[in-house]
Amino acid sequence: MRRPAPAGRAPACPAAVASPARPAFARAAGWSDGRGRGPAAIPASPARASWPIAGARCARCSATTGPAAAGRAGTGFRQRPDRAADIVGAGASRLLNKREVLILDYIHFYIPLFWPYCFRSNCFQGIAVSPHSPAVRRILLSSFLLSLSRAAITPLLVLTLARQLGLSLQATGGLLGAVLLATALFGVYGGYWLDRLPRGPALRAAAVLMGLGSALLPYAHGYAAVVAALAAGELAMTLYGIAVKAILSDLAEESQRGRVFSLRYTLANAAWAVGPLLCSAALLWNELAPFWLGGALALAGWLTQPRLPSFPRDMAALPDGFAATLRTLAGDRVLVWFTASSLLAYVVYGRFSSYLPLYLLTRMDEADAMRWMSALISCNAIVVVALQYPLGRLLKPRRLIRSIVGGFLLVGAGMLWLGAVDSLPMMCAGIALFTLGEVVLVPAEYLYIDAIAPEALKGSYYGAQNLASLGGALGPALAGALLAHGPAWLLFAVLAMLCVLGAGLALFGDRLRLQRAAPAAAADASALPASLS
């Protein structure tokens, strides 16, 4: 006896009931062709078994199939939209439950019979994706493993480079800084190609390149070989970070991106907290073991990457060449001012674990400074892991600029607190306040770039915003200069002023965005003139 479709459940796509070999799909789907013919009316002929009934209508996507649709569209299938929100607006009012996810996975990957229309119709692709969907989970897991890979070898980079090249620590630091500068600049070019090439293969290539760079670095002894292995790992990490942000923007609907970006940042911080511990444990076995471990983790990140859907792109909307892309990016004053704001933020929190010990060494001996620094870093990691996701999921597109300004002010207040106290518990409280601003600011910046970037230039915009990471190299240099030529409290006062200046630049850039959107708002009431404020 055929069970009726459960009340309140949207019927599945006709693809789920097209094959008589899988009657369970038909019983679970409960779809109708609009004339009272349900799953029992599907013809059993093998020649017609792979096609839905002429004129059948999918209640999930409202797509009419068969000859009735073919007469109107010429193909029998509507073109899939560019964004997940288009499907949501077209009729998908809820996320898929677990059984439906398993059914769709089975159809997509194990029944080639359904491929001709499952991938050309909009019945499945683009449905609202939550942070808990399989594709997003695997992207986040892959990102975590690659961050863990880099964190496992970073504590040894300076010493390894100095030993292999015979350079002084100062020269080694300069070399490492030059490589980081080159990779940050390369991010713009990498983003340019991510807008033109499939992002899935780029993601896999970056993971493999990072694994090879990590594993081969200790075996390189010539200057060119060492620099090549080091640059390969850093370039791959930069490209991977940009690609992951662009892919998550493609997969997750707009209302879920704050949660997704926050979860990614939480996992990255957890990786950088655990990585040094893994490095220490691996050193007990072999001095090269951390590099082997880093390579293995990167390759594991490659293996966990999902099979990504191909999102159609309007190549006509892309600038003609890299030079034209640079002119487009430089001409977007909102992007320029916001990137400058992000750079100031990176000066303050990007490498705080590098400049804070310099301050502690002006007040205590090295042993106490290391003990205090361990406690402060642990406090930072605990706050990030505990609060990043709960706070990030509260970020709303309509309040992004407020969240950004609030994050800047919290980071600045934490800096002033650190400069005014002299006990470890109070400094931990200051770090907690500082970290609270960081966990709000970082995902809000990603969401802001996602909101202002044209659909065809997501990768280029994320690559341009990656230039803000250069601020992380400026923080230790600025701290050393201020501590050498002034009182210790001056360091935290200047950092707090940079936070206020960063908030001001973000507000100024958003004002330019509102002015730019005003003419469009006058012509289109659905425009977005104040959705980020």
DSSP states of 423-473: SHHHHHHHHHHHHHHHHHHHHHHHHHHHHHS-GGGHHHHHHHHGGGGGHHH
Q: Nearest to residue 26, comparing CAs of 44, 37, 8, 38?
A: 38
Q: What does the pLDDT read at residue 521?
A: 54
Alpha-carbon distances, residue 59 vs 35, 83, 177, 194 (angstroms): 13, 19, 56, 35
**Bridge partners, residue 64, by sequence:** 57
Q: Alpha-carbon distance 27 to 497, whole Å?
A: 65
pLDDT, position 6 = 47
pLDDT tens, N- to C-terminus, the chain (533 residues): 444 444 444 444 444 444 333 333 333 333 333 333 343 443 443 333 333 333 333 433 444 333 333 333 333 333 333 333 333 333 333 444 444 444 444 334 333 333 332 333 333 333 344 544 788 889 999 999 999 998 888 878 777 877 788 777 667 777 877 888 888 888 888 888 888 888 888 889 999 999 998 888 888 888 888 888 888 888 888 899 888 888 888 887 777 787 888 888 888 888 888 888 888 888 888 888 889 999 999 999 999 988 876 666 666 667 888 888 889 999 899 999 999 999 999 999 887 877 888 888 888 887 888 788 888 888 888 888 888 888 877 887 778 899 999 999 999 999 999 989 989 999 999 999 999 999 899 888 888 998 888 888 888 898 998 898 888 878 888 888 888 888 888 999 999 999 999 999 999 999 988 888 776 555 554 444 445 65
The reported pLDDT for the residue numbered 55 is 36
Distance CA 343, CA 86 (A): 34
- pLDDT for 349 equals 87
Quote the CA–CA distance of 365 and 155 in Å, as a whole number. Answer: 22
Q: What are residue 71's phi and psi, to 5 degrees? A: -65, -25
The CATH number given to 132-313 is 1.20.1250.20
CA angle, corner 118, sides to 196 and 37, nearest 5?
155
Is the CB of residue 463 less than 8 Å from the CB of residue 191? Answer: yes
CA distances from 314 to 15, 117, 177, 311, 515 (A): 28, 22, 38, 10, 27
Please, which residues bridge with residue 455 across strands?
none
* Distance in angstroms (rounded) separating the CA atoms of residues 456 and 195: 7
Per-residue confidence (pLDDT) for residue 310, from 0 to 100 = 66
pLDDT for the residue 426: 94
DSSP states of 353-405:
HHHHHHHHHTTS-HHHHHHHHHHHHHHHHHHHHHHHHHHHTT--GGGHHHHHH
Listed in sequence order, the DSSP H helices in 42-166 are 67-73, 84-90, 98-110, 115-118, 134-165
**Residue with tokens 């594709």, as numbered in its chain:** 135
Residue 207 CB partners (closer than 8 Å, separation 6+): 142, 146, 236, 240, 298, 299, 301, 302, 305
Report domain extents, the chain: 132-313, 326-518
Specify the pLDDT at position 487.
86
**157 and 176 Cβ atoms separated by less than 8 Å:** yes
Q: Is the dihedral of CA 256, 332, 438, 188 positive or negative?
A: positive
Q: For residues 100 and 134, give the distance between their C-alpha atoms in angstroms, rounded to a whole number.
A: 12
Neighbours of 130 (CB within 10 A): 16
Q: How many Cα atoms sit within 13 Å of 4 on the Cβ side? A: 4
Question: How far apart, in whole angstroms, are the C-alpha atoms of residue 352 and residue 77?
Answer: 54
- Is the fold of 132-313 the same as that of 326-518? yes
| Rounded-to-integer distance, Cα 16 and Cα 23, Å | 9
Question: What's the CA gap between 251 and 213, in Å, rounded?
Answer: 29
**Quick one: pLDDT at residue 532?**
60
Nearest to 295 by CA among 216, 220, 227: 216
* Secondary structure letter of residue 65 according to DSSP: -
Q: Are 346 and 472 in contact (CB under 8 A)?
A: yes
Task: Answer whether 0.75 is exceeded by the pTM.
Answer: no
Give the number of residues written for the chain. Answer: 533
Nearest CA to 153 out of 282, 267, 244 is that of 282
Torsion of the alpha carbons at 171, 161, 190 and 251, rounded to the nearest 10: -130
Q: Is CATH 1.20.1250.20 correct for 326-518?
A: yes
Distance CA 44, CA 17 (A): 12
Mean pLDDT taken over the chain:
73
End-to-end CA distance of the chain: 56
Would you state the structure tokens that stand for residue 29, as one six-digit string?
């789907």
Structure tokens at 286: 């072999």
